[in-house]
Amino acid sequence: MSRVVLVTGCSTGGIGFALCNEFARQGCKVYATSRKVETIGEFSYPTVQKLALDVTSDEAVESVVKHVATVEGKIDIVVNNAGFFSAGPLIDQTMEDIKANFDTNTFSILRMTRAAIPFMAERRSGIIVNIGSIVGEIATPWNGLYCASKAAVQSISDVLSMECKPFNISVLHIAPGGIQSNISANGASRFSLPENSLYSAFLPNILQRINASQALGSMPTDAFAKEVVATALRKNPPLYLSTGAHTTLFAILKWLPKTWVLWLMWRVYSKKIIN
């Protein structure tokens, strides 16, 4: 019997879309979701079904999860991929942006797992896949909300991995590095510095940071999807997978003194000003 997979944040051009295609290629029945179904393009496989899902809505999450579980009789894998980043200095972020960022990147995972885990626990089987980021482990300037929200995702994955053990539910935390996707373009479209910003002189550095994940050497989305799906479909998936551009560097940096690492990150993303 094919596995049933529910993926959030599946707009065309993102990693969620590529993950859906790859799960379907591996013979899974896939439910691709997005706030607006029209943002999801056509998939290569007929076993992918599109659903509207606003991950910031308790009612919408509960309704979609229940629908999939009722129609299919189970949910084998939930991929919490929905997210966005609000670029710019932390103190320039509006409270509206701050709440929206955490609501989509972090609180949505709690909503999805609260809704899905009871169905998995009933069958003593299931996998939760949470998409975090390497910047959730090592912060960078000019993208603080994203770093903070993804750091919270790391903690959520760690705790869930322990608390799901009694029900034979696995948790796989993905910490992507640079992956070719539309995230930078979407972030840039929402970015603007306030007229009275203390950081106006750093605008070139902020733009540099917005586009950093799409620089030369970023992993193609399809290659990322193949590695993640292959890992998720293993009989005993690991707790953690980090792949994409710069992941080796960040793995090394985690072992170095934090003061030095933060100095390095600041140096990289302020060099036009301090040189």
SS3 88: strand
Q: Which residues pair with 31 in a beta bridge?
A: 6, 49
H-run or E-run covering 154:
helix 144-163
pTM of the model: 0.95
Domains in the chain: ranges and CATH: 4-274 (3.40.50.720)
Q: How far is residue 247's CA from residue 110's CA, in Å, rounded to a whole number? A: 26
Nearest CA-CA partner of 100 in 79, 84, 81: 84
Residues annotated catalytic, as ranges: 146, 150
Q: How many degrees, rounded to 5, is the angle at CA 145 between CA 144 and CA 149?
A: 115
pLDDT tens string, the chain, 275 residues long: the values are 799 999 999 999 999 999 999 999 999 999 999 999 999 999 999 999 999 999 999 999 999 999 999 999 999 999 999 998 889 999 999 999 999 999 999 999 999 999 999 999 999 999 999 999 999 999 999 999 999 999 999 999 999 999 999 999 999 999 999 998 877 666 666 788 999 999 999 999 999 998 887 777 899 999 999 999 999 999 999 999 999 999 999 999 999 999 999 999 999 999 765 54
Q: What's the DSSP call for residue 2?
A: P
**Token representation of residue 45:** 């496989």
Return all residues near 243 (Cβ < 8 A) that are at least 6 apart: 174, 176, 177, 219, 224, 227, 228
| CA pair distance 11, 79, nearest whole angstrom | 14
Instruction: Give yes or no for a contact between 51 and 71, defined as CB atoms under 8 angstroms apart.
Output: no
